[in-house]
């Protein structure tokens, strides 16, 4: 990251939304800072405040609690808390509508 | 030889010029049904008792393909039906120019041969142990002579332009990793969309991979009854698994999945089903059944990729797209299988096994749509005769599914 705030200056973008309708993007490498995100035909810069590992997701816009999270253009679960743009979206703030979890 | 020659795959920095229209491919017209993208003799052993002679016959006829079931007696009900559906479907396959049925008893061989002719109108010859007075060596010799005659006859066939709408592809994944759900499966799906939009046909299977996303698939069904059939197919298998004491939705995705970034069963299944693309689902096919009409179909079938591929082949799919992460060498025997990986280590290490390198998408040098254009070009090339690595190294095999044991 020398001389750049970008996670990997060799990449044209470090994250991508699989479907242009998605409200989360997936990290293509470990990311933190100002991340270039490919969404459809555009590349946007989104600030990622805390580190996110490769393959994990973050919000591409602010989400309210109880909002459907869209990946592949489809709902993969519901937010359980408000999520700011650039914030990690995972099991701590996303709930499946299908799975049965072990209690506790 | 060019050291480090690169195969198909979106190259870094390459920007799209004029696209090929891919309106047609060069295929072998058949008397009935879809055109073939290959033109081989199939030696079809329909009974395990004569599998070794069937193998000897195929070995004596270079370029022929061998399917020899180890089963064939003591089968009843749905197990027998699905077994014969696979044998007949493979015998009638568009990529097969002619079929030599090798059997034990004459009546069963005639039944299979008649079903193949009824479906395909192709040349079929029969040799059986009955006819050879139980002499397996005489059976072998007779099979080689008859098979050779068929090879000579089909060698007169020539490739001709065929509309791309005649293509029917099966889409499979095996040995997946994080790159599969992120790149390779959406890429295969984008190619399925391109083919369906041109009037072609595609199928995905492995019913239990839909678990958690079956309501999403159901919404994409062309009719409400098809959506209900999708949900019912998943519930039926989920219950069958539950009867064996396994709850498929309990703590799924598992620890490894969660560590890799998957947050819900919906996300995991959507990553698998992304390889189907986004077009309406026209039907739920029983295992090994031919689709009635073009467009996207789903097949209610087992979750082992060799069996799944044989189901697609028996349904008449001429070509397979097979996505993998770290690699998976298995291919269909009768349908050329295009291996796709987006994992940069895998595409480098398995350069002569992965047909399409999609790692440029992971390395932010290409979008899924760019890669899908390239892969669609490659698919049409393979349909016209370009060899897959699996064909070159003979990785193809058919694996017959059984729904019950022999009585």
ipTM score of complex: 0.91
Chain A and chain B share a number of CB contacts under 8 A equal to 89
* B35: CB partners within 8 A, 6+ apart: B27, B28, B29, B94, B162, B166, B318
Which residues of chain B have a CB within 8 Å of the CB of A27? 261
Task: State the smallest CA–CA distance between residue B269 and chain A in angstroms.
Answer: 9
Which residues of chain A have a CB within 8 Å of the CB of B216? 74-75
Q: What is the mean pLDDT of residues B380-389?
A: 98
Task: Name the residue facing B263 among A11, A76, A102 (closest C-beta).
Answer: A76
Do strands A24-27 and A88-89 pair parallel, antiparallel, or not at all (unpaired)? unpaired
Q: What is the DSSP string of B52-111?
A: HHHHHHHHTSTT-EEEE-S--SS--HHHHHHHHHHHHHHHT-TTEEEEEEEESSHHHHHH
Task: State the smallest CA–CA distance between residue A71 and chain B in angstroms.
Answer: 7
Task: Give the pLDDT score at B255.
Answer: 85
B64-68, B268-272, B291-295, B388-392: range with lowest mean pLDDT? B268-272
Spatial separation of the C-alpha atoms in residues B20 and B371, rounded to whole Å: 14
Q: Does A43 map to a domain?
A: yes
pTM: 0.93
Which residues of chain A have a CB within 8 Å of the CB of B270? 71-72, 74, 76
Task: State the smallest CA–CA distance between residue A95 and chain B in angstroms.
Answer: 7
Task: State the smallest CA–CA distance between residue B263 and chain A in angstroms.
Answer: 5
Task: Name the residue facing B362 among A28, A74, A75 (closest C-beta).
Answer: A28
Which residues of chain A have a CB within 8 Å of the CB of B250? 99-100, 102
Which residues of chain B have a CB within 8 Å of the CB of A71? 267, 270
Instruction: Report the CATH number that the domain containing residue A22 is assigned in CATH.
Output: 2.30.130.110
Say if residues B309 and B338 touch (Cβ distance below 8 Å). Answer: no
Helix then strand then coil, % of chain A, to nearest 5: 0, 45, 55
Spatial separation of the C-alpha atoms in residues B51 and B37, rounded to whole Å: 27
Closest-CA residue of chain B to A88: B261
Is the model's pLDDT at B361 over the cut of 80?
yes
Q: How confident is the model at residue A104 (pLDDT cuts 50, 70, 90)?
A: very low
Is the model's pLDDT at A103 over the cut of 60?
no
Task: Give the pLDDT score at A10.
Answer: 73
For chain A, the domain total comes to: 1
Residues of A with CB under 8 A from a CB of B: 11-14, 16, 18, 26-28, 38, 53-57, 69, 71-77, 89-91, 94-102
Average pLDDT, chain B: 94
Q: Does A10 map to a domain?
A: no
Which residues of chain A have a CB within 8 Å of the CB of B368? 18
Q: How confident is the model at residue B280 (pLDDT cuts 50, 70, 90)?
A: very high
* A98: CB partners within 8 A, 6+ apart: B212, B249, B264, B265, B266
Closest-CA residue of chain A to B267: A76
The tokens of A93 are what? 């703030």
Q: Which residues pair with A77 in a beta bridge?
A: A69
Spatial separation of the C-alpha atoms in residues B22 and B94, rounded to whole Å: 20
* B185-199 burial: b if 16+ Cβ within 10 Å, else e: bbbbbbbbbbbbebe
Is the model's pLDDT at A2 over the cut of 80?
no
Q: Cβ A26–B363 below 8 Å, yes or no?
A: no
Q: What is the mean pLDDT of residues B276-286?
A: 96
B141-156 per-position pLDDT tens digit? 999 999 999 999 999 9
Q: Does A100 map to a domain?
A: no
Q: How confident is the model at residue B17 (pLDDT cuts 50, 70, 90)?
A: low
B78-128 per-position pLDDT tens digit? 999 999 999 999 999 999 999 999 999 999 999 999 999 999 999 999 999
Which residues of chain B have a CB within 8 Å of the CB of A77? 263-264, 266-267
Please tell me which residue, B253 or A58, carries the higher pLDDT value: A58
**Interface test with chain A among B214, B264, B268, B281, by most A beta carbons within 10 Å:** B264
The tokens of B229 are what? 């059939």
Per-residue DSSP letter, B358: -
Q: Cβ A54–B263 below 8 Å, yes or no?
A: no
Short-list B377, B332, B376, B327, CA closest to B354: B327
Q: Does A81 map to a domain?
A: yes
* B108: CB partners within 8 A, 6+ apart: B46, B47, B72
Per-residue DSSP letter, B182: I
Spatial separation of the C-alpha atoms in residues B105 and B151, rounded to whole Å: 24
Do strands B356-357 and B160-163 pair parallel, antiparallel, or not at all (unpaired)? unpaired
Task: State the smallest CA–CA distance between residue A100 and chain B in angstroms.
Answer: 5
Say if residues B214 and B298 touch (Cβ distance below 8 Å). Answer: no
Task: Give the pLDDT score at B257.
Answer: 87
Say if residues B278 and B270 touch (Cβ distance below 8 Å). Answer: no
Beta-strand runs (E) in B325-391: 331-332, 337-341, 356-357
Q: Does A37 map to a domain?
A: yes
The tokens of B124 are what? 């079929």
Q: How confident is the model at residue B10 (pLDDT cuts 50, 70, 90)?
A: confident
Task: Give the pLDDT score at B249.
Answer: 82
Range of the domain at A48: 15-95
The tokens of B139 are what? 């059976």
Task: State the smallest CA–CA distance between residue B225 and chain A in angstroms.
Answer: 21
Q: Cβ A57–B186 below 8 Å, yes or no?
A: no
Which residues of chain A have a CB within 8 Å of the CB of B362? 28
Q: Does A102 map to a domain?
A: no
Is the model's pLDDT at A3 over the cut of 80?
no
Q: Which residues pair with B42 in a beta bridge?
A: B65, B99
Which residues of chain B have a CB within 8 Å of the CB of A24? none
Q: Does A2 map to a domain?
A: no
Q: Does A63 map to a domain?
A: yes
Per-residue DSSP letter, A63: B
* A15-52 burial: b if 16+ Cβ within 10 Å, else e: bbbbbeebbbbbbbbebbbebbbbbeeeebebebeeeb
Task: State the smallest CA–CA distance between residue A72 and chain B in angstroms.
Answer: 7
Short-list B152, B164, B155, B194, CA closest to B35: B164
């Amino acid at each position: 990251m020398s001389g750049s705030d970008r996670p990997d200056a060799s990449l044209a973008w470090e994250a991508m939304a699989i479907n242009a309708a998605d409200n989360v993007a997936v990290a293509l490498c470990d990311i933190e800072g100002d991340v270039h995100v490919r969404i459809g035909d555009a590349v946007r810069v989104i600030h990622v405040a805390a580190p996110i590992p490769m393959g994990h997701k973050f919000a591409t816009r602010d989400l309210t609690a109880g909002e459907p999270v869209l990946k592949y253009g489809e709902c993969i679960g519901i937010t359980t808390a408000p999520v700011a743009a650039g914030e990690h979206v995972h099991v701590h703030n996303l709930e499946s509508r299908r799975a049965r979890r072990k209690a506790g | 030889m060019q050291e480090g020659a690169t195969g198909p795959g979106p190259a870094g920095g390459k920007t799209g010029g004029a696209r090929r229209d891919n309106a047609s491919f060069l295929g072998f017209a058949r008397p009935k049904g879809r055109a073939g993208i290959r033109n081989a003799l199939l030696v079809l052993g329909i009974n395990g008792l004569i599998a070794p002679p069937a193998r000897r016959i195929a070995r004596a006829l270079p370029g022929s393909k061998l399917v020899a079931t180890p089963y064939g007696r003591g089968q009843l009900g749905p197990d027998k039906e699905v077994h014969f559906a696979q044998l007949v479907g493979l015998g009638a396959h568009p990529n097969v120019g002619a079929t030599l049925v090798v059997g034990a008893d004459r009546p069963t061989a005639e039944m299979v041969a008649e079903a193949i002719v009824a479906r395909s109108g192709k040349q079929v010859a029969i040799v059986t142990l009955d006819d050879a007075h139980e002499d397996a060596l005489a059976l072998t010799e007779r099979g080689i002579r008859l098979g050779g005659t068929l090879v000579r006859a089909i060698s007169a066939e020539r490739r001709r332009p065929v509309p791309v709408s005649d293509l029917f592809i099966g889409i499979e994944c095996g040995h997946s990793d994080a790159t599969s759900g992120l790149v390779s499966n959406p890429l295969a799906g984008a190619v399925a969309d391109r083919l369906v939009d041109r009037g072609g046909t595609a199928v995905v299977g492995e019913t239990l991979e839909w678990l958690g996303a079956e309501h999403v698939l159901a919404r994409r069904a062309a009719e409400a009854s098809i959506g209900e059939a999708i949900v019912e197919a998943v519930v039926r298998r989920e219950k069958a698994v539950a009867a064996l004491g396994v709850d498929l939705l309990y703590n799924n995705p598992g620890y490894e999945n969660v560590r890799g970034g998957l947050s819900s069963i919906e996300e995991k299944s959507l990553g698998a089903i992304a390889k189907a693309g986004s077009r309406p689902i026209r039907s739920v096919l029983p295992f090994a059944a031919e689709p009635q009409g073009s467009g996207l179909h789903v097949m209610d079938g087992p979750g082992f990729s060799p069996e799944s591929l044989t189901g697609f082949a028996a349904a008449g799919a001429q070509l397979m797209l097979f996505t993998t992460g770290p690699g998976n060498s298995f291919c269909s025997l009768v349908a050329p299988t295009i291996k796709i990986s987006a994992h940069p280590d895998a595409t480098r290490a398995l350069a002569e096994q992965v047909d399409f390198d999609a790692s440029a998408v992971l390395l932010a040098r290409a979008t899924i749509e760019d890669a899908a254009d390239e892969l669609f070009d490659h698919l049409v090339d393979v349909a016209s005769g370009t060899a897959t690595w699996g064909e070159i190294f003979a990785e193809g095999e058919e694996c017959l599914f059984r729904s019950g044991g022999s009585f």
